[in-house]
Structure 1
Amino acid sequence: MLRSRLHEGFRWLGDATDPDLRADPTGWWRDADLLAGLGPALAALFSETPPSVVTGPQSRGSLLGTLVAVHLGVSFVELLKDPGPAADSDAWLQVPAPPDYRDRHLRLGVRRNLLGPGDRVLFVDDWVATGAQVEAAHTLVARSGAAWLGAAVIVDAAERSHLRRKVDLRSLLHVREL
């Protein structure tokens, strides 16, 4: 049922031959029943090892990550793109990400006091294509001393197969299914 709702709420923008063919998942957020089911469905991808914290990049990773965190009864930590400290004393962990799907070179960051040893971290996002953000998140978690559990996403469109193993990428759909 969830998978069919994901199909119904999704569309491609552009023609099939268009080199700028883009995914449009915005219909997912308009379906209240689908939205209610996404947190439990993404959490179920890692049911064997419960996280103590869920993380995800702004903005869709934050939307989905909070749904997963609320479902699991754990906290959520947002990973910010190109963050800047609010003051000189504001301590951040930051890592450069490889080029993303828009060929941007972003930095991903988190305040140092939000992740640390003893945390078991589950990464959540809507889509993985280049894997730039999930790879940067994996590095951030390692640098914080926390344990990486894996990455739960709605769509796996990973361009590099070794990335799936490196970050333990699990998805509700593969891009070929859309």
Structure 2
Amino acid sequence: MTDAQAKGPRDDRWYLNLMAPNTKGPQFAWLDPTSIYINQDAFQDLLTDLLDDIGDLSFDVVGGLDAMGFVLGAALAARTGTGFLPIRKAGKLCVDTDAASFTNYSGRTQDLEMRLPAFAPGTRVLLVDQWVETGGTMDGAIQLVGQQEGEVAGLVAIAVENTPRVLELRARYPVISAVVPGSRWQKECDAQRLSSFDIYRPEDVFPRRRD
């Protein structure tokens, strides 16, 4: 067990303590969950908890949202023996694409693209992103799935904030997050400040050396 893991039991989602605060200013997201990915214990426990909560939800492919949704989505696809579909920001794919516009958390309008065709009509797509704040990027991905007559099986993220648009998404789809609704983590995420920031140390997330 790592020093970081010893700070809290797994059923309290101990790895959420490892998320790093924003140190670069308001043009960036308010925290960085990628510190979970680099620590092997944290990353594996995150995936296990998400898959436990996904349970028997049925899906045919995992769609990961550009860019950090690629990390989490690809890992979940590998764990479940499912194919992975990257959903990219505009201008990145070298094949024919569908496009959908969305407004991101900073208020900027952007386009998402998906290969055309990506799947057969009726395919159930599990959409995965690292973080859902305003729900704008996820909206774009949902549009793309619909444009190719797919079905959104559910939405997955490390955390999903309770903003008005996100509450609408919760009413329409199964939404799974490592930050459990109603928990202290949810309250802190909605306030956009984690109490663990007070004791955050980058060295707590360092991966173990393999001899």
Q: Shorter-chain TM-score: which interval?
A: 0.7 to 0.9
134, 144, 158: which one aligns with 2:148: 144
Distance 1:137 1:30 in 2: 26
Cα distance, 1:6–1:168 mapped onto 2, change above 3 Å: same
- In structure 1, stretches of 5+ residues that fail to align are none
Deviation at 1:92, TM superposition (A): 1.0
* Correspondence 1:1-150 to 2 at 5 A: 1=10, 3-7=13-17, 9-13=18-22, 22-83=30-91, 86=94, 90-97=95-102, 99-150=103-154
Q: Does 1:168 align with 2:177?
A: no
Cα displacement string for residues 85-127 of structure 1 (whole angstroms, at most 9, x for unaligned residues) = 53xxx42111001x21122211111101223314211011111
Structure 1 length-normalised TM: 0.84
Distance 1:119 1:50 in 2: 11
Distance 2:152 2:163 in 1: 21
Aligned length: 170
Deviation at 1:19, TM superposition (A): 6.6
Contact 1:53/1:69, CA 8 A, preserved across alignment = yes
- In structure 2, stretches of 5+ residues that fail to align are 1-9, 180-184, 189-193, 195-211
Q: CA RMSD in A?
A: 2.2
Cα distance, 1:11–1:80 mapped onto 2, change above 3 Å: same
Structure 2 length-normalised TM: 0.72
Deviation at 1:164, TM superposition (A): 2.0
Q: Which structure shows the higher strand fraction?
A: 1
**Which protein has the larger Cα radius of gyration, Structure 1 or Structure 2?**
2
Distance 1:141 1:96 in 2: 13
Identity, % of aligned positions? 26
